[in-house]
């Protein structure tokens, strides 16, 4: 079944796997499997853990391993499947290793059946293929969570995101557009700890400090997007990630700053959740031109 591609999303603590029908543009939910990964483990154990979850997906569907598209955060040599991750307190044991070859050997398949893609690019490709960004050719995708992810497609040509590295205020953009910024700023302002953005969002209606943080966050996000993408004028910006669940709280200030600066792309909240990265990674085995029809 050449139309079925295994989509894989590898994160900092987990791996999610599911089959994607690339002809219909559907993630087959009844094939989805998720597993925990100890990213501090040795390389062989990490690869074995990935392979185990992938095999569970195939066993669930009753098929043998075929083409596998993998979404994974960098730095990575995506073309050759070599990990360049170091100094990030995750997957350190994989540095410099040909993880594509190691995984292929573990699964008993040819290395040509495995392709890697940046996780933010996969998220955006998935929303183009199956979600809220169908039909657009010039677009930007942002993921907001423990880190800041970004990607762009211009006339079907993917551009790997660099937004997290951009200078902003007294540091980098990710210092101001991530969960840790909310946690740090609330602690500084109130002296009280907070677990994360979900907790702050639940407090925002009655907690003035929490609300001010979301307003400042929205304004910063708008400023960063204008600075990075203003000249390119994307048709649409798709926003996903855990912080996007607080959409209604930070969007008013974001849109206000965008209007004031005549930056007016359509802004949409991602609709596919974790399935976006699975679908986008599977699209590595589909012509990118087909994603916008």
pLDDT in tens, 149-194: 899 988 777 787 789 889 999 999 999 999 999 999 999 999 999 9
The answer on 258 and 156 residing in a single domain is yes
CATH of the domain at 159: 3.30.420.40
CA-to-CA separations, 80 to 92, 158, 199, in angstroms, rounded? 18, 17, 41
Judge whether 129 lies within some domain. no
Same domain, 115 and 177: no
Same domain, 162 and 251: yes
Asked whether the beta carbons of 114 and 103 are under 8 A apart, the reply is yes
User: Do 115 and 166 belong together in one domain?
Assistant: no
Report the percentage of the chain scoring pLDDT > 90.
78
| Domain extent for 117 | 4-123+275-292
Q: What is the dihedral of CA 19, 141, 71, 56, to 10 degrees?
A: -30
Q: What is the pTM of this model?
A: 0.85
Same domain (yes/no): 264, 209 = yes
Same domain, 152 and 242: yes
Query: 102: part of which helix (H) or strand (E)?
Result: helix 99-107
74, 133, 147, 247 from 46: Cα distances, Å: 16, 34, 22, 35
The domain tally of the chain equals 2
Residues 188, 238: one domain? yes
Residues 18 and 44 in one domain: yes
Structure confidence by residue, pLDDT tens digits, 224-256: 999 999 988 999 999 999 999 999 999 999 999
Burial class (CB within 10 angstroms; exposed 0-12, middle 13-18, buried 19+) of 166: middle
| Domain shared by 49 and 173, yes or no | no
Residue 128 lies in a domain: no
Does 265 lie in the same domain as 139?
A: yes
Residue 242 lies in a domain: yes
């Amino acid at each position: 079944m050449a139309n079925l591609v295994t989509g894989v999303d590898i994160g900092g603590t987990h791996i999610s796997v599911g089959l994607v029908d690339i002809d219909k543009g559907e993630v087959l939910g009844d094939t989805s499997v998720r597993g925990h990964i100890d990213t501090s483990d040795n390389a062989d154990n990490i690869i074995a853990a990935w392979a185990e979850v992938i095999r569970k997906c195939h066993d669930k569907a009753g098929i043998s391993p075929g083409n596998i598209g993998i979404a994974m955060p960098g730095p990575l040599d995506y073309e050759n499947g070599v990990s360049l991750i170091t100094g990030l307190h995750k997957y350190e044991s994989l540095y410099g290793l040909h993880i594509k070859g190691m995984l292929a050997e573990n699964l008993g398949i040819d290395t040509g059946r495995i392709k890697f893609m940046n996780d933010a690019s996969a998220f955006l490709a998935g929303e183009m293929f199956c979600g809220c960004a169908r039909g657009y050719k010039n677009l930007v995708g942002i993921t907001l969570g423990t880190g800041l992810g970004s990607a762009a497609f211009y006339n079907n040509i993917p551009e790997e995101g660099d937004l997290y590295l951009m200078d902003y205020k007294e540091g980098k953009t990710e210092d101001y557009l991530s969960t840790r910024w909310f946690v740090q700023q609330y602690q500084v302002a109130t002296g009280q700890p907070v677990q994360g953005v979900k907790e702050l969002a639940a407090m925002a209606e009655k907690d003035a400090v929490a609300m001010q943080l979301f307003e400042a966050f929205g304004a910063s996000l708008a400023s960063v997007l204008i600075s990075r993408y203003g000249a390119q004028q994307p048709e649409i910006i798709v926003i996903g990630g855990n912080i996007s669940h607080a959409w209604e709280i930070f969007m008013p200030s974001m849109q206000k700053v965008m209007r004031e600066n005549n930056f007016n792309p359509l802004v949409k909240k991602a609709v596919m959740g974790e399935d976006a990265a699975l679908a986008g990674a599977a699209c590595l085995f589909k012509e990118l031109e087909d994603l916008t029809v």
